[in-house]
Structure 1
């Protein structure tokens, strides 16, 4: 018999519909529920009578309160419940205990990566072209195009020939424009266009420089060409100071070009290309070599979430995170607005009081900035989230936090701070998908796992993004942008452990050079967070 509902935690007073359920009587767990109205797939209904003000419990924690009396079997919606989260408390004693998973099958496994002088290992080997200020975006684009086409990185797409055929009225096959790559060990030329570096606050410029430092110093980057106009806030010397402070052991080649010194565009572009080619020839000598799995730094992200994300995809990432942490690797859980409502669980898992205090301090400051402009974390769920059953931010957060598994929280990072400790790290970013993935890569993630229930094409310029679907339908319908399916978990056809094992195999393959869907589509999304209110 098809399973129609699931209770995620024994304490829950709601059930999740695994399939659409009609109005009327429904027998679940030897109880009869009279559904007051149809319950769409992924939505929830009450298992007890709730009085106005009483709490809705999901994932074992309070996620909402009832706006008015709700009889057993009521569909919960934005009209009859509202967001609720318990106020977190920092305790004096920290003695979190957890059962680490068995990792015997992974202890001798490795991936093929690029070893750096600072001991880190890249899963890719890119050359970066970076503007310190938006005025240089055009020069960056010209240099990128020249290098991509001249060095054999250009990938023609099917739509170019479609346009030619539409204009000419012919039906010729696509031209073969791809060339042989000149530098076989350099995976690509990547740019980081942005609208910052000048005209904003000093804090914005410093934050941008810290973020760009993380990208230039990233293990997936072989070297960089950095363009400056000369008069902007984000000066070259300031960038060097910031980068040396954050990444003192980094010894990669970096070319600096300043337009107001070289004067003409032609001099700027030709000098940049000539100097870049000299260094690319040198870094092309670096080859992939075996690396143990503790060299992985895996970002944990979700976007376009649905009612199954917290049941299948996110818990699979949690299982995977726990395994990598046990092996000595690092994982990074981001999106602080989506930890709203589960702060107590996070605090209780911190390794010590200073770590817990840092988390709560950053979280409180972020929440106050949101309230100061008439917003709040409770406004985080998008229309797509709500439509698919994530009615309150606490419901969304409780499911999103599952990506972090059960491991202790070893460190808390503010935006642009680099990962320095193995284990589960928390990184303050917005819930905005691209701002968050941009931050994950900037803090050192050399692989990003990105769960989605509705589908998203998001990628990153330097870090491979593995898209993980929460349900089989979206995996099959959006096969060109999603890499991995956890739908069988939601359907009760596969366990978290066996699905996580398959995902780890996928991580090893991608870390060794296998392209993800986002990489094939050249989905190079990069949006710096200006520390304003973004949920």
Structure 2
């Protein structure tokens, strides 16, 4: 295993692949470099001396500017560099894409749920949603009733732990409580024996629908419409209070925009028109049960891989993200695109500094201009409240080597592979074109993942270097560790370890192919992701405020 890596020939920094002690001497391209201080794995050190104001380059792009002299072998830190990135402008060329060889997958299929509108789901869920936060409690009542009654409730491992602790407390045995070790279940999910063709009944609670701007409530309705329209959803039960901004009519209009011939079953209950809460909930439960009887009649059938829509997401990123998991996922995206499928790259604050490359990859002038317009509007909005994309990296990102937004962005963009950008979507817009789509979302893990699924992703590839438990209510979220230490430390949330790229055991292409094979299995219901097993059903709508 090499101890360091130059990502791009134009870079003037090297990445430490393992902890390197002060005084370590290396020879690189004729340079004799002695490290001036401890350089932890994932961090960067200088190939040459740089003066204050000089550019720092990684991934072949500008990622920072020195604010003081940094000697050869010196460590990049938040004290000696600041964020800097290249400006972007109109499309100034086109890149010729060399599609990967996909002959081995040409006739492959996955087993999915075919919908009347031509979409194919990787799961079959019934959805229960409130149009306003006032109905969250009623949704919770329905959730408790259905999950226990149908056998979808997670295993009660923590309930059992509390029961054991209470029993020990009643005995007065505090020492036993201190030494207590709970039994652990690796899979807390359950499948219903009543509706074997339904993967579950899911409940999307939120804090929106009223009290904010009308734009927020309209966006919420558009997002919820995307979930109802989604191929992983058989139908939905909708609870409305009645007086809120997010009216039923707005939701219905949003559904018609997605599909003028929309014909999935939707059961709507408005509390202010009901004779009592009990009667409304009783009717909702009975009608939902009957609708699920019909939803259970659909079975998995073979579907071409072109029906897959993959969301490309990262969270808890580290200094290895851009050289292991992200480019591996990017290769998976390229394979799928070459097969006629679709991928979605989001998190616009984490595309800072690589905009021009993406602009030049756009297939049309209209698409490139839309991307420019959305990116500039987003950055201007952040700056108007005294913020900016440069503030995106979290303390965890910085600690593990992502010390500027441009460094983080250059690595994050690798999830999009090298394929042409066929479309650019604003928040809540739904995918209609195969190929790589760019979707405007914040970098916030849950807001972004929620948006990708709302725009049609029927499976999500989620890379992480630090570990994050993010999942989604209706789409499988596959967690990919950037390093083997994480995969070993948090096996309960990690599905795939891409750390073998860092150790040199696998190439990016080999790992990308392995990921595609896992995607086919997960899409077919042959395996269920760790996020699904743990019921990590995260859902947060974006209010279009300044969220990075």
Shift of 1:49: 1.4
Q: What are structure 1's unaligned runs of at least 5 residues? A: none
Please report how far the alpha carbon of residue 160 of structure 1 lies from its aligned counterpart in structure 2 after TM superposition. Answer: 1.3
Look up the match of 2:292. 280
Partner Cα separation in structure 2 for residue 162 and residue 187 of structure 1:
27
Question: Contact 1:153–1:181 at 8 Å: present in 2 too?
Answer: no
Q: Structure 1 residue 451 and structure 2 residue 450: aligned?
A: no
Q: 1:174 and 1:422, CA in 2 relative to 1: closer, same or farther beyond 3 A?
A: closer
Say whether 1:181 aligns with 2:180: no
1:518 and 2:531 equivalent?
Answer: yes
2:331 partner SS? helix
Please identify, of 491-500 and 215-224, the stretch whose mean Cα deviation from structure 2 is larger.
Answer: 491-500
Residue in 1 that maps onto 2:399? 387
Aligned counterparts of 1:242 and 1:318: Cα–Cα separation in 2: 32
Structure 1 residue corresponding to 2:302, chosen from 290, 293, 297: 290
Q: Say which is worse superposed, 330-339 or 493-502, in terms of deviation.
A: 493-502
- Distance in 2 between residues matched to 1:330 and 1:177, nearest whole Å: 29
Q: Deviations over 1:171-202 (max 9, x none)?
A: 99999997852111111010110011111110
Q: Which moved more, 1:168-177 or 1:287-296?
A: 168-177
**Which residue does 1:113 correspond to in 2?**
112
Q: Structure 1 residues 247-256 or 319-328, which shifts more?
A: 247-256
What displacement does 1:28 show?
2.9
Worse-superposed segment, 322-331 or 23-32: 23-32
Residues of 2 paired with 1:242 and 1:12: CA distance?
Answer: 47
Contact 1:96 1:351 in 2 (8 A): no
Hey, what does 2:547 align to over in structure 1? 534
CA distance in 2, matches of 1:71, 1:174: 51
Q: What residue in structure 1 maps to residue 507 of structure 2? A: 495
Distance 2:414 2:72 in 1: 27
Identify which range, 68-77 or 219-228, moves more after superposition.
68-77
Aligned pairs, number: 533
Does the 8 A contact of 2:189 with 2:533 survive in 1?
A: no
Residue number in structure 2 paired with 1:8: 7
Greater shift, 456-465 or 241-250, is seen at 241-250
Deviation readout 1:49-93 (Å, 9 max, x if unpaired): 11111100100011011102222111111000111111102135x
Contact 2:152-2:189 at 8 Å conserved across structures: no
What whole-Å deviation, never above 9, does each CA across 1:100-145 have from its counterpart, x for those lacking one? 0000011111111000001000000000000001111111111111
CA distance in 1, matches of 2:275, 2:346: 42
Give the secondary-structure state (helix, strand or coil) at the position aligned to 2:126.
strand
TM-score norm. by structure 1 comes to: 0.97
Residues 458-498 of structure 1: CA deviation (Å, up to 9, x unaligned): 00000100000000000011000010010000111111111
Question: Hey, what does 2:155 align to over in structure 1?
Answer: 156
Partners of 1:177 and 1:527 in 2: CA distance = 22
Q: Which residue of 2 aligns with 1:254?
A: 266
Could you tell me how far apart the structure 2 residues matched to 1:474 and 1:178 are? 27
State the alpha-carbon separation in 2 of the partners of residues 174 and 417 from structure 1: 41
Structure 2 unaligned segments of length 5 or more: list them. 172-179
State the alpha-carbon separation in 1 of the partners of residues 543 and 355 from structure 2: 24
Once the two structures are overlaid, the 10-residue window that deviates more, 141-150 or 9-18, is 141-150
Instruction: Say which is worse superposed, 281-290 or 242-251, in terms of deviation.
Output: 242-251
Output the CA distance in 1 between the equivalents of 2:71 and 2:189.
65
Give the direction of change, closer, same or farther, for the CA distance of 1:350–1:210 in structure 2 (3 Å limit). same
Q: 1:283 and 1:214 mapped to 2: Cα distance? A: 19
Mapped to 1, the partners of 2:76 and 2:101 lie a distance apart of 39
Alpha-carbon distance in 2 for matches of 1:173, 1:330: 42
Alpha carbons 2:13, 2:58 under 8 Å: kept: yes
- The answer on whether the counterparts of 2:132 and 2:210 sit within 8 Å (CA) in structure 1 is yes
Q: Secondary structure at the match of 1:24?
A: coil
Partner of 1:41 in structure 2?
41
Q: Give the distance between the partners of 1:259 and 1:235, measured in 2 at CA.
A: 13
1:308 to 305, 320, 326: 320
Where does residue 354 of structure 1 map in the other structure? Answer: 366
Of the structure 1 ranges 256-265 and 521-530, higher mean CA displacement relative to structure 2 is found in 256-265
Matches within 5 A, 1:62-73: 62-73=62-73
**Residue 223 of structure 2 contacts residue 454 of structure 2 at CA under 8 Å; is this kept in 1?**
yes
Aligned to 1:434, the other structure's residue is in SS state: helix
TM-score, normalised to structure 2, is 0.95
User: Which runs of 4 or more aligned residues in structure 1 lie more than 6 Å from their structure 2 counterparts after TM superposition?
Assistant: 170-179
* Greater Cα offset, 173-182 or 29-38: 173-182
Structure-2 separation of matches of 1:177 and 1:78: 43
